[in-house]
Amino acid sequence: MDSLYGMAPAELAGALSLFPAYRARQVYRWLARGAASFDQMSDLPASERGRLSALYPSIPSSAPGAELADEDGSLKLQIRLADGAAVECVLLEDLEGRKTACLSCQVGCPMGCAFCKTGSLGYLRDLSAGEIMEQFHFLSLRRGPISNVVFMGMGEPMANLGAVRKAISVLSDGVGMSLRKITISTSGLVPGILELAQAGPAVRLAVSLTAADEELRSSLMPVNKTYGLGSLKAALASYQAATGERITLECAIMGGVNASAMSARSLLDWIGSLKVQVNVIPWNKVPGLPFSEPSRQELESFMSVLEAAGVVASRRMRRGRGVMGACGQLGDTLKY
């Protein structure tokens, strides 16, 4: 059974035999606030709290393990799941104090991107909506209110879209977070992008592009062998036509691989009429992977090509590196 934290009121009513119907909404609101026991739910009758506590002495199905804090305010948690598997999640804080939770949606990742630590772990299973929400609550318990959520941790969100959608529903309806504060990041699974365009939710979309050269992208991101740059661009055009929203393109830049001005010009040609923002992400070092960080000159050259063409581009702040919690680094504390 899914963790209670991922259930809608109607599901809670059935799972917990709640009656009258408004009791399920009461429990739902407490769970959305991260309540860890039914004893905390003060608006339930004492007899009901006792009954439910007997069923669930502790509500969370998972538990925090290793906990690493960086001097830049970042926090990385290892979460041990009920079946013994584990994932990592991260909280990042910007210079204005805004806190973003980077949540995982799978144990490991099936996509196998060459430059990503998580991709080297392989794939074990999907997370449930409740397991996703428990990450959010463990982070907020330690650092207070969270303003943004990105599904950009371990795993491919579009490959587990059902659970991700349920978690987003709880974040929106239960926690009260605006959908505009939630981002789904994908490596380029075209069916998921099209489904999101047609059925929502209306969250922000980010795509890990990395390279706009067919051969190079296929060598770095195996997903490109199934959904090439042409089909990906067509899907993004359909998404943009349906939603009117700007798409974020994420480019992890590796020295001597995709950092040249020529790579930037290829990216410009591929973007064409798409309305995008490009996040340029200097590759974060992962021991054992055969890449290097780009030089300052390479980054400046790459950025200057984009800016000269009028593309909205930003260089991603490198937060979380001190705890191996930056982009592409998750999974260093895990062994399956």
Which tokens in the block code for residue 289? Answer: 């992977």
What is the predicted pLDDT for the residue at 15? 96
300, 259 contact by CB (below 8 A)? no
132 found inside a domain: yes
210, 221 contact by CB (below 8 A)? yes
Peptide bond into 287 cis (omega under 30): no
Q: Identify whether residues 144 and 256 lie together within a single domain.
A: yes
Q: Identify whether residues 41 and 67 lie together within a single domain.
A: no
Please give, one letter per residue, the 3-state secondary structure of 92-126.
EECCCCCEEEECCCEEECCCCCCCCCHHHHCEEEE
pLDDT band at 333 (very low <50, low <70, confident <90, very high): low
pLDDT band at 1 (very low <50, low <70, confident <90, very high): low
Mark which of 39, 55, 71 sits at the end of a domain: 55
Q: Identify whether residues 178 and 284 lie together within a single domain.
A: yes
pLDDT (tens digit per residue) in 86-97: 999 999 998 888
Which tokens in the block code for residue 140? Answer: 């907020």
d(CA 325, CA 332): 9
pLDDT (tens digit per residue) in 238-265: 999 999 999 999 999 999 999 999 999 9
* Interval 213-229 mean pLDDT: 98
Separation in Å, CA 242 to CA 212, 275, 279, 334: 24, 13, 23, 39
The secondary structure of the chain in percent helix, strand, coil, rounded to multiples of 5, reads 40, 20, 40
* CATH code assigned at 223: 3.20.20.70
d(CA 98, CA 145): 9
* Containing structural domain, residue 14: 4-55
Q: Identify whether residues 80 and 22 lie together within a single domain.
A: no
Q: Identify whether residues 26 and 158 lie together within a single domain.
A: no
Q: Identify whether residues 153 and 248 lie together within a single domain.
A: yes
Q: If you count DSSP H runs as helices and E runs as strands, how many of each does the chain have, helices first?
A: 10, 12
Catalytic residues: 88, 327
Give the length of the chain: 336
Q: Identify whether residues 94 and 215 lie together within a single domain.
A: yes
Q: Identify whether residues 25 and 152 lie together within a single domain.
A: no
pTM attached to this predicted model: 0.94
d(CA 239, CA 61): 36
Distant-in-sequence contacts of 264-273, Cβ < 8 A, 24+ apart: 264/301, 264/302, 264/303, 264/305, 264/306, 265/305, 266/211, 266/212, 266/213, 267/209, 267/211, 267/212, 267/306, 268/305, 268/306, 268/309, 268/311, 269/212, 270/212, 270/229, 270/233, 271/212, 271/311, 272/233
Mean residue pLDDT of the chain comes to 94
Domain count, the chain: 2
pLDDT (tens digit per residue) in 4-60: 999 999 999 999 999 999 999 999 999 999 999 999 999 999 999 999 999 999 999
